[in-house]
Amino acid sequence: MTKGRRQGGFIAALALLLVFVAFAYGRDPSVEDGAVDLPPIPGGAVAQSPLLTRQSGTGAETPPHPLSDPDGTSRYMAVEQQVAARAKPSSGSRVVARLGTRTPEGTTNVILALARVERGGRLWIQARLPILPNNTLGWIPRDALGGYNQVTTRLVVDLSAFRATLYRRGTVIWNARVGVGQRQWATPAGEFYIRNRLTKYSSPTYGPLAFGTSARSPVLTDWPAGGFVGIHGTNQPSLIPGRISHGCVRLENADILRLDRLMSPGTPLSIVR
Amino acid sequence: MSEHLTVEVVDADGAIRDALNDIETGTSRQGFLKKALTAGGTVVLGGVAIGGLPALVTAAPGPAQDAKILNFALLLEYLEAEFYTRASASGALSGEAREFSRVVGAHERAHVAFLKGALGSKAGAKPTFDFKGTTEDQAKFLATARVLEDTGVAAYNGQGPNLTKPTLAAAASIVSVEARHAAWVRDILQQNPAPAAFDAAKTQKQIESAVGATGFITA
Amino acid sequence: MSDHLTLAQVDRDGAIAETLDRISPDSRAGFLRKGAILGGGIISGGAVLSALFADAAEAATENDIAIANFALTLEYLEAEFYTEAVAMGAIRNARVRRFAQVVAAHERTHVAALKGMLGARAVAKPSFNFQGTTESEAKFKATAQVLEDTGVMAYAGQAPRVDANAVLKAALAIHTVEARHASWIRHINGAPPAPRAFDQPKTMQQILAAVAGTRFISSGPAMTATGSSPSFTG
């Protein structure tokens, strides 16, 4: 391919991207399991800005009751019916995402429940959503969700220190060195949760065990199954610590096996720069 | 097990002591009992004090033992039924206390009828009672009702393992109602309706001592 | 909510069938090995809890184990219901909140005692979905009344079926406390605390059908996948 054609191709792609971005907020929202996505804002930095976190207003009736405290008990709930997550706890509010009942891995789709309100006799749950942009929240009618499941653990990944730490009720119970995303595929920062757990597969590059998170790569948007960030083992432990991956957090195999004994899916996850 | 029971064992949560504090000193025997109890002495009250009840039940479950235990239960139900009947008739109760006495009295009278029917010719006779003014004053009534109902629960639970299975089924259907009574009057009194996660069982001896200490049975 | 429980045989995800399988008696006869000894001091009158349940652990038959696991399932449900209701913060009335707190503690104690008695034979805690009944004060009050009345009928139905005296003593000690709970919440709700002179028992099947009708027991989310390679970004 000639340089000119490559440049032309690149400009065309960029133009297309800009067109998508221009229409982004007027478009129908994504189906969160990856079929159709809101295009990401390039670079990921703006997406992680707290200003873009879709915290909806809470209305006058009752103040939201908190359901998760990462230093205490957090709660996650299964998505039991296909349902729209909305910007505000009202059936007329803008749809932020449509949630399905299964993840691409076939596990139950779950959300982290942050708060609950009652509006007009109906209960709504403010949920942390596994969609792009990262750190998006939305309100879901409670009756589309299952029961409350509790965890008392919290995982923190420090991208600068190349370290992951697991807390239980605020006390450190595990930590390990990690490999994180290379700069062009940076592991996104923000608040997430562990979505599922994969075992007994035959991909040595992922080690013996992998945790799926609700975090998604803002750059690898055409990655199969939505480009979710995982936390997994490795067959190249000598690369850890370092910026080594396409966005996933890599652990030495012994460390992830230890983590598995202490942490269950549903655990809130903070990724800090 | 020793037949000598200290007040602390009989009256572990102070209920009897509370009830007695509300009873004015009457006969010399009752006064003696009150003095003995408040002094922390040892009180020995065998079957004699309750008018001829059989001694400790220790055999394996069987119809004869069932009859002994049901007669023990009948004695308590006679006492409760008469207590509520007299309290309702006294005109001293108003409001929810009156409703409580009406409803619970009907239940206890039904329990008496059931037990008499079950025992047939073996049913013991109804004793004579003197409720020492506790049926004539609303505050004393409620305090005493609480003691009686809690005692009934402990009595039935204590005897459960000694009964044959069919009789146990009948006892189970009664004891939960006594527990409901106990919780109800406790709530009326603004006390904890369910003070513990497990209800204690008391032996026949312990119950006889507790009941004897009230002095309500006079013959 | 009426006194009568829905008996619709709604079995979400086969969870009730699983529960039934787990608690039905084994075909082999035998006696339970000694369970864990528990701390004492939580019976009124100062009697020692550990003696009560340690004796029961040693003496229980297979039939008793099935009954104890049935009771444990109900206690898991009640403990989770009350604990969640307290945590959800939807109860504004102080009297109702006190009821929820006291009863939650009792039911957790019942769970601990039964688990200690059963040791390795204890069924696992199911997953629950209380369908919003822990998130509304009105629904909580009505549901608590049904649950407590159900517990009374459950224990009354099982007491005559228990083999070991030690297990029976433990069951009777819990049975009357559930009756106190029932009377208490009925009183709060303005319902008759003791609606009849004789409480009726119900069989294990009847109780489990009633529990199934609440749809509270669910199989919980499936969080693990096996066999297929991760498709994360790596």
Kindly report the three-state secondary structure assignment for every residue of chain B: CCCCEEHHHHCCCCHHHHHHHCCCCCCHHHHHHHHHHHCCCEECCCHHHHCCCCCCCCCCCCHHHHHHHHHHHHHHHHHHHHHHHHHHHHCCCCHHHHHHHHHHHHHHHHHHHHHHHHHHHHCCCCCCECCCCCCCCHHHHHHHHHHHHHHHHHHHHHHHHHCCHHHHHHHHHHHHHHHHHHHHHHHHCCCCCCCCCECCCCCHHHHHHHHHHHCCECC
pLDDT of residue A3: 53
pTM of the predicted model, to two decimals?
0.78
pLDDT at A18 over 60: no
Chains B and C are touching, with contact defined as 3 or more CB–CB pairs separated by less than 8 Å: yes
pLDDT of amino acid A225? 83
pLDDT at residue number A163: 98
Report the sign of the C-alpha dihedral through residues B108, B111, B113, B115, in that order: negative
The structure tokens listed for B74 are 């009948």
According to the model, what pLDDT value does residue B171 have? 97
pLDDT tens digits, one per residue of B83-129 = 999 999 999 999 999 999 999 999 999 999 999 999 999 999 999 99
The continuous run of DSSP H or E covering C149 comes out as helix C137-158
Return the residue of B nearest to C165 by Cα. B161
Which regions of chain C are under pLDDT 50?
A: 1-13, 16-20, 23-48
For residues A267 and C35, the model is more confident at: A267
pLDDT at C35: 31
**Which of residues B6 and A269 earns the better pLDDT score?**
A269
pLDDT at A11: 57
The residues with which A213 forms a beta bridge, in sequence order, are: A194
Question: Between A134 and B49, where is the model more confident?
Answer: A134
How much is the pLDDT for B41? Answer: 28
Q: Which of A79, A180, A196 to mutate to test the interface with C (most CBs of C within 10 A)?
A: A196
Share of chain A above pLDDT 70, in %: 78
With contacts defined as CB-CB under 8 Å, which chain C residues touch A228?
A: 231-233
Q: Is C139 helix (H, G, I), strand (E, B) or coil?
A: helix
CATH class of B59-201: mainly alpha
pLDDT value at residue C228? 86
Residue type, C56: A
**What part of C 82-141 touches B (C-beta under 8 Å)?**
102-103, 105-106, 109-110, 113
Residues of C in contact with A205 (CB under 8 A): 234
- Residue C53's pLDDT is 77
Q: How confident is the model over A140-178, as pLDDT tens digits?
A: 999 999 999 999 999 999 999 999 999 999 999 999 999
Structural tokens at position A61: 């009736």
Does C9 fall in a domain? no
Q: How many CB atoms lie within 10 A of CB B2?
A: 9
Tell me which of A23-32, A97-106, B22-31, C50-59 is least confident: B22-31
B44 pLDDT above the threshold of 60: no
pLDDT in tens, B133-186: 999 999 999 999 999 999 999 999 999 999 999 999 999 999 999 999 999 999
**From B187, which residue of chain C is nearest by alpha-carbon distance?**
C184
What total of structural domains would you count in chain C? 1
CB pair distance less than 8 Å for B103 and C194: yes
* Cα C100 from Cα C185, distance rounded (Å): 9
> Does residue C200 sit within a domain?
yes
Q: Domain range holding C206?
A: 61-221
Q: Considering the domain boundaries, does residue C145 fall inside one?
A: yes
Quick one: average pLDDT of B8-21?
Answer: 41
Q: To the nearest whole angstrom, how far is the Cα of B114 from the nearest Cα of chain C?
A: 10
Do B196 and C193 lie within an 8 Å CB cutoff?
no
What CATH number should be reported for the domain holding residue C192? 1.20.1260.10
| A32-46, A187-201, B202-216, range with the lowest pLDDT | A32-46
Question: Would you state the pLDDT for residue C59?
Answer: 83
Would C24 be classed as within a structural domain? no
- Lowest mean pLDDT segment, chosen from A85-89, A126-130, C24-28, C84-88: C24-28
What pLDDT is attached to residue C39?
32
A149 and C233 within 8 Å at the Cβ level: the answer is no
Residue C221, chain A, CB below 8 Å: the answer is: yes
Residue C54 parent element (H or E): helix C49-59
On the question of pLDDT at A58 being above 80, the answer is no
Summary mean pLDDT of chain B: 81
Evaluate if residue A42 carries a pLDDT over 90.
no
> Nearest 5 degrees, angle CA C115-CA C178-CA B100?
165
Residue C34 lies in a domain: no
Higher-scoring residue by pLDDT: B164, A6: B164
Using a threshold of 3 CB pairs under 8 A, tell whether chains C and A touch: yes
> What pLDDT shows up at residue A40?
33
